[in-house]
Amino acid sequence: MTDLLRRFLLTSAPAALAAPALAASTAASGAGLALAPLADGFITFADAREKFRALFRFERDLRDEGIALSSYQFLVYALPQGQRPQPVVRFEGMEFSYFRRVGDLTWRIHAHNLSYPRDPATGQFISTVRNPFTGAMLDVQPMRLLNDPGVLHSPQGYLPLDAKTVRWLDTFLVMRIEGDLVKSEHIRPTPDGWPTQFIESSVSSVAKKDFDDPRVTSLMYQTSGFYVFPFPAWMRMGDTPGHMLGAWSGRKLRDPRGLPREFLARARSEDAALLEPRWQEFERPVPELLRSAM
């Protein structure tokens, strides 16, 4: 018996053997209970403005000024060409954004990220990890991403504040109903100057009752998604062809008190200033080239 046939039989035979018994049982007991189908389907918006408002409620808040804080677990995998992918490290972190309305359905957004590395198997905080392909011990430092140039976000898309031309970046976005949830599936644009081998995609879900309530200006989502990106320098992969995959899951929080307990304790000890919005970022003037877009 070949391995392929054995796997087919092991996975298929029980179901095949069970099917007649299940059918007989159903026939004996009469018709099964009639269950109402789950609500489902893609959401159609009246125009680009309404679609943007729905997205901004998911990702930020429709108020003129506000914050959006999310907590995430981020598992990083290495995918060298021709080799079996392997997990490398877990990051536990937060993304903190702060925004102000600067025009008709147009917000200026700034953000920072803070993440601490954890062992992918035990979850313990670490500072070194073994490269599963080379055996080398790698230094893995906390990630403090503080140099975001900021972005304008409107129904036209995204316009990074370090852009050299006024070229709004559009996204792939659909929203759909799945039972008592509304899901936002969002593939984000890659800004000019970023690595060619990069993409970011996410699926975020909220309760449909909240989505349908216009009084809820900020939807408290659960989210998951992934990045594809080149090998970072700290992986020490040299000229090895391949890339990294980062898979995350997380949720939106109302304020830093909702962050994971151990993460929050460490952040208060090492990075307390990053537990606050950095409103001073708005003191930097928008480049004159981009002011017409506001």
Q: What are the tens digits of pLDDT across the range 150-206?
A: 999 999 999 999 999 999 998 899 999 999 999 999 998 787 787 887 889 999 999
Q: How far apart are CA 140 and CA 74, in angstroms?
A: 14
Query: What pLDDT is attached to residue 96?
Result: 98
Q: How far apart are CA 152 and CA 258, in angstroms?
A: 28
- Using a pLDDT cut of 70, give the percent of the chain over it: 88
For 161, the token pair is 């504040």
Q: Phi, psi at residue 260, to the nearest 5°?
A: -55, 140
Query: What pLDDT is attached to residue 33?
Result: 54
Question: pLDDT by residue (tens digit) across 204-254?
Answer: 999 999 999 999 999 999 999 999 999 999 999 999 999 999 999 999 999
pTM of structure: 0.85
Q: How far apart are CA 46 and CA 48, in angstroms?
A: 7
Query: What pLDDT is attached to residue 293?
Result: 83
For 277, the token pair is 């919005």
DSSP character string of 116-176: EEE-TTT--B-SEEE-TTT--EEE-PPEEE-----EEEETTEEEETT-SS--PBP-EEEEE
Query: What pLDDT is attached to residue 292?
Result: 85
Q: Write the CA distances from 177 to 36, 49, 91, 283, integer angstroms.
A: 15, 20, 31, 40
Q: How far apart are CA 268 and CA 248, in angstroms?
A: 23
| Strands (DSSP E) found in 156-264 | 157-160, 172-178, 181-188, 199-207, 222-229, 242-253
Please check whether residue 115 is in contact with residue 79, taking contact to mean a CB–CB distance below 8 angstroms: no
Question: pLDDT by residue (tens digit) across 93-102?
Answer: 999 999 999 9
Please check whether residue 99 is in contact with residue 82, taking contact to mean a CB–CB distance below 8 angstroms: no
For the chain, the domains span 40-271
